[in-house]
Amino acid sequence: MSANQPKKKIVLAYSGGLDTSCILVWLIEQGYDVIAFTADVGQDDDFEAAKQKALSLGAIKYVCLDLRRDFVDNYIFPAVQADAIYEDRYLLGTALARPCIASGIIRVASEEGASHVSHGATGKGNDQIRFELASYALCPQVEVVSPWRLPEFYERFAGRQALTPRRTISALPVTPKSPWSMDGNLMHISYESGILEDPKVEAPQDLCTMTKSPAEAPDQAVRISIRFEQGIPVKVKNLTTGEEITGSLELYTYLNKIGGEHGIGRVDIVENRFIGMKSRGVYETPAGTILRQAHIDIEVLTMDRELRRIKQRLALDFGEQVYRGFWFSPECKFLRDCIKRSQERVSGTVQLSLFKGGVHVTARDSEFSLYNQELVSMDVQGNYEPRDAEGFIRINALRLREYHRLQGDLDQS
């Protein structure tokens, strides 16, 4: 940037950690006026310390927005309605947070008259895609500066190992906290990189901070109930103590606490990044794990079988879209609308037992239940003629009999 040109304002997604502190100083070196922005999405950070660090490093302003309830209501709960999951195991905690954070940074950029935004995501990961797709969707004219993709930055700092006090910008008062990367929010904590990059190596026993090891969890199960209205959790009751919790943020925080105490929600997985490589991550998602189990149960009780088959296929696509950063795409909005429509009668109460890492559904009830006890009973015939099953079986067997009669010899050759 020429010395004669007026400085451009840039809003940096700032955590107060090593990466973004280095980036903040580097952006100032490039001639930007930097506004440091932190989104409070439930991470366990000292925001006042982050503010003081950002200002001491040269930021012209620090902004922190409390987006926790927005995150729960508008991102986590639609994922609960969808039973959203990626590659069978990842509950999308980071992927769901990124569009929420991006909406916050674009809001601040608009309010502050900033034409640029920046972030600390690396050039190999998913977060650069998620953050930038959301930013461009919300503000098509915005310009994004991604330092980890710029040679003048990554050739100076070859990677996170190079971000140490001796090799970073002078007098930068930051040091790495642990030999892995950690990202937390209200939904989960993720761990990757460093010593976790070798999938053959077990994660350290002291890695997890959100949940107890199942082996160290209480020897007595805790019993809870969760009330859903149209697929959204609205009340949690601790059946052991009688405590009741309402309010979206409050009940989600409570489930995190009680789930963490009982070792719920740990996974250690290898996943396929959108950009084309495999990565290893360790995730803790206590409340999300509990809610997914409970929601599936009440949904099966209240939703028609064929409708649910369609909804499950939509949910699979939804999970892929969220993972890949397309939250604000027209196709993702369409799927959210469809999934929300499917939840109109998914209301009721599920009872669960939490014990040493396990979530066990023990009972369920709903005013919209499609369960007919008399019809299904082995002791009462009800409005069902057993002889009708013979024709049902014969019709379904016709295809199988004809296939094996006409093609069976080829299959055995």
Task: Specify whether the CB–CB gap between 137 and 329 falls below 8 A.
Answer: yes
As a whole number of Å, the end-to-end CA separation of the chain is 72
Spatial CA neighbour of 30 closest among 11, 7, 4: 7
| Residue position matching structure tokens 């016709």 | 398
Q: How are beta strands 232-238 and 222-229 bridged, if at all?
A: antiparallel
Residue pair 183/189 in contact (Cβ under 8 Å)? The answer is yes
How far is CA 283 from its chain centroid?
A: 10
Catalytic residue among 15, 127, 225, 336: 127
The yes-or-no answer on residue 19 being catalytic is yes
Q: Which of 68, 98, 324, 364 is catalytic?
A: 98
> CA 37, CA 161: separation in Å to the nearest integer?
25
- Distance in angstroms (rounded) separating the CA atoms of residues 116 and 319: 29
Q: Give the active site residue among 15, 19, 227, 364.
A: 19
Q: Is 127 a residue of the active site? A: yes
> Does the annotation count 193 as an active-site position?
no
Token readout for 383 is 């409005």
Q: How far apart are CA 97 and CA 117, in angstroms?
A: 17
Its sign, for the CA torsion 360, 261, 236, 286, is negative
Catalytic residue among 118, 181, 193, 279: 181
Return the amino acid letter for 258.
I
Q: Is 146 a catalytic residue?
A: no
Nearest by Cα to 187 from 15, 70, 274:
70
Supply the residues annotated as catalytic: 19, 98, 127, 181
